């Protein structure tokens, strides 16, 4: 890798979304972006059959590569890696990718790369109609599989070649697939950064599990950064500094050393109970997407699963998972957590009835459409299947049911009636389940927060989904880059809705947790404690950092400052007051 000439070194910074903490300093290595290299040309009729054969061979090669990667996974590799590779194999073998491009080659007389790219764009457009951010991010899986096929068609190497002194190399890519990330286990790259991706993308999930500093959603990093340039990746702040000057480099080297020392100290807190200085016990739970995530939750010392997102079971498939498949997944989590609580959120799909992109429906405003509990109530057969599976699994652990996106008491009562119907069907079969299973509701719509006391009266617990609550309160689409700077969890209106919900639950003796991104922000821990929150749920990688903050907090001291923050209507005063709170 050739370093740029000194005269061409211009220092600049790029801001993105930090998805895995830490600081890395190294030289950039640009990863090929095959999709940009695709051109369109006509294939003579006499060569159409050969073009289709070339496409089939490329698909077969990718299938072999992915199966090899999965087979050679190290024993200690993060468990979700195998699941991601299986997902990519399933996408690869889907008719939409393995057969439809061949029909296009035949009917349009185009080259294989072009046909595949056109089909990919059509599929991505359908994924973008999903209102759920997590599910919408799954379009990246399709793109990553297509890019892998195109690399083979273009004759590019399918694997990242070994390089010397890899610990000083930072990968700069438009996107990285799970298969690419798995190869990192064989390398020692310092970090990676990508143009696309979000906090819930597979790239982000893998980055956290591999403990590699990384930043996504940098927009044009791969275009702006040149091969061999010295860059700093600050995963804590979501900032990439290209060609840093001498003073900046020295400062970040010091920060890097301090960060590594802090991480070693944090590991000592795993077995320490989360108790404030005044003796108040706090529950720190984990958010998970797949059963295999339980190992990370337990490794971080989580005292329960506060949010099990069941959407993963329904994604990238044409048919809904059956009751037995769902039961097996829920039971495995309940048994793995033993006597610790497991909160399973019922289906939180988007505006489309099914995860099958072929049947996706158009919705003018997906975020306000038929999603979550609204969708489940409109599809009682699907909902009852899931409820039966959850209830049956409750016989094997301490399971709770969490209902997403409630907006009215009528909606809640309809849901409770369906839960009762599921119980009655199991009673008729003499099936075992926890007859006293607790049912809670997610407060993620301003209307629900304003009526939190009414919900608390009819539910066993509440869980605040801050991501959607902020989105709906401030009328900001988190996925829209043009307004993302307005997405602010410290907006006075948001804070009042959060506090109002916590107060309603505490008044009626009903537990309240926060399971959105706010719960995993260490700088917000004292504020939420001051509001009366006693249960947090977050990604396992964030638990120890939040626990440290809790161990250093004294409720009698911080509560008055938290109340002062709650009382301000001036958004510009909140941040200074928060800093004061964190200095208490």
Task: Look up residue 166 and give its DSSP letter.
Answer: G
Cα dihedral: 475, 346, 143, 296 (round 10): 110
Task: Look up residue 292 and give its DSSP letter.
Answer: G
Residue 295: CB atoms within 10 A of its CB come to: 16
Write phi, then psi, for 192 (nearest 5 degrees): -145, 150
Q: Of all helices (H) and strands (E), which one includes residue 46?
A: none
Exposure letters 60-77 (e unless 16+ CB within 10 A, then b): ebbbebbeebbeeeeeee
Exactly one of 202, 285, 296, 539 is catalytic; name it.
202
Q: Which of 80, 58, 3 is nearest to 312 (CA)?
A: 80
Task: Look up residue 236 and give its DSSP letter.
Answer: T
Please calculate the CA angle 553-558-561 and round it to the nearest 5 degrees. Answer: 155
Describe the strand order of the beta sheet including 169-173 as a list of residue ranges.
Answer: 12-15, 239-242, 230-234, 23-30, 169-173, 191-194, 214-216, 17-20
Give dist(CA 265, CA 545) in Å, integer.
10
Residue 167 to residues 24, 146, 212, 345, 362, Cα–Cα distance (Å): 9, 29, 11, 40, 47
219: Cβ–Cβ under 8 A, 6 or more apart, which residues?
Answer: 14, 16, 195, 481
Give dist(CA 578, CA 584) in Å, integer.
10
**C-alpha 178 chain-centroid distance:** 14
Exactly one of 110, 376, 451, 515 is catalytic; name it.
515
By DSSP bridging, strand 230-234 and strand 239-242 are antiparallel
Q: Of all helices (H) and strands (E), which one includes residue 443?
A: strand 438-443
The burial of 143, by beta-carbon neighbours within 10 Å (0-12 exposed, 13-18 middle, 19 or more buried), is given as buried
515 tagged catalytic:
yes
**Which 3-state string (H, E, C) describes 88-154?**
HHHHHCCHHHHCHHHHHHHHHCECHHHHHHHHHHHHHHHHCCCCCHHHHCCHHHHHHHHHHHHHHHH
- Quote the strand ranges of 251-328, DSSP E: 283-288, 305-309
**C-alpha 472 chain-centroid distance:** 19
Helix, strand, coil percentages, rounded to 5, for the chain: 55, 15, 35
296 tagged catalytic:
no
317: Cβ–Cβ under 8 A, 6 or more apart, which residues?
Answer: 90, 355, 356
Q: What is the DSSP code string of 323-364?
A: HHHHHHHHHHHHHHTTTSEEEEEPP---SSSSS-GGG----S
112: Cβ–Cβ under 8 A, 6 or more apart, which residues?
Answer: 51, 52, 54, 55, 58, 101, 105, 153
Catalytic residue IDs: 202, 515
């Amino acid at each position: 890798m050739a370093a740029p000439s000194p005269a061409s070194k211009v220092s600049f910074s790029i801001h993105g979304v930090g998805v895995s903490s830490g600081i890395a300093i190294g030289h950039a290595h640009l990863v090929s972006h095959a999709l940009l290299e695709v051109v369109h040309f006509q294939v003579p009729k006499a060569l159409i059959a050969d073009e289709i054969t070339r496409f089939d061979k490329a698909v077969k090669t990718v299938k072999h590569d992915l199966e090899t990667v999965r087979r050679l996974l190290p024993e200690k590799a993060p468990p979700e890696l195998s699941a991601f590779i299986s997902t990519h194999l399933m996408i690869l073998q889907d008719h939409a990718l393995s057969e439809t491009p061949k029909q296009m080659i035949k009917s349009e007389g185009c080259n294989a790369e072009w046909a595949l790219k056109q089909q990919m764009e059509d599929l991505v457009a359908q994924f973008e109609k999903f209102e759920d951010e997590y599910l919408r991010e799954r379009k990246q899986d399709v793109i990553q599989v297509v890019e892998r096929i195109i690399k083979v068609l273009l004759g590019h190497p399918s694997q990242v070649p070994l390089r010397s002194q890899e610990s000083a190399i930072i990968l700069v890519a438009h996107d990285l697939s799970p298969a690419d990330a798995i190869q990192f286990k064989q390398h020692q790259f310092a970090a990676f950064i990508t143009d696309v991706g979000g906090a819930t993308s597979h790239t982000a999930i893998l980055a956290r599990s591999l403990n590699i500093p990384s930043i996504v959603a940098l927009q044009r990093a791969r275009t702006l950064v040149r091969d061999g340039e010295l860059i700093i990746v600050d995963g804590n702040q979501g900032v990439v500094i290209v060609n840093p000057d001498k003073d900046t480099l020295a400062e970040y080297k010091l920060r890097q050393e301090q960060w590594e020392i802090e991480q070693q100290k944090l590991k000592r807190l795993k077995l320490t109970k989360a108790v404030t200085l005044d003796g108040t016990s706090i529950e720190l739970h984990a958010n998970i997407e797949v059963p295999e995530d339980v190992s990370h939750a337990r490794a971080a010392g989580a005292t329960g699963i506060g949010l099990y997102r069941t959407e993963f079971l329904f994604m990238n498939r044409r048919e809904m998972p059956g009751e037995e498949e769902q039961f097996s997944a829920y039971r495995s989590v309940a048994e793995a957590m033993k006597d610790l609580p497991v909160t399973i959120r019922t289906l939180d799909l988007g505006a489309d009835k099914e995860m099958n992109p072929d049947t996706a429906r158009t919705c003018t405003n997906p975020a306000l459409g038929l999603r979550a509990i609204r969708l489940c109530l409109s599809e009682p057969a699907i909902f009852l299947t899931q409820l039966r599976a959850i209830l049956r699994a409750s016989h094997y652990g301490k399971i709770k049911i969490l209902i997403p996106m409630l907006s009215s008491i009528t909606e809640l009562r309809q849901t409770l009636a369906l839960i009762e119907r599921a119980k009655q069907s199991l009673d008729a079969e003499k099936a075992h389940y926890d007859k006293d299973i607790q049912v809670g509701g997610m407060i993620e719509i301003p209307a629900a927060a304003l009526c939190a006391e009414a919900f608390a009266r009819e539910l066993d617990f509440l869980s605040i989904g801050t991501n959607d609550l902020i989105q709906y309160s401030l009328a900001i689409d988190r996925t829209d880059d043009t307004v993302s700077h307005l997405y602010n969890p410290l907006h006075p209106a948001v804070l009042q809705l959060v506090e109002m919900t916590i107060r309603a639950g505490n008044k009626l003796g009903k537990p309240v947790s926060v399971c959105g991104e706010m719960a995993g922000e260490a700088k917000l821990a004292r504020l939420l404690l001051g509001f009366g929150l006693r249960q947090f749920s977050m990604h396992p990688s964030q638990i120890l950092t939040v626990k440290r903050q809790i161990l250093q907090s004294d409720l009698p001291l911080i509560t008055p400052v938290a109340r002062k923050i709650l009382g301000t209507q001036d958004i510009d005063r909140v941040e200074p007051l928060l800093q004061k709170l964190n200095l208490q």
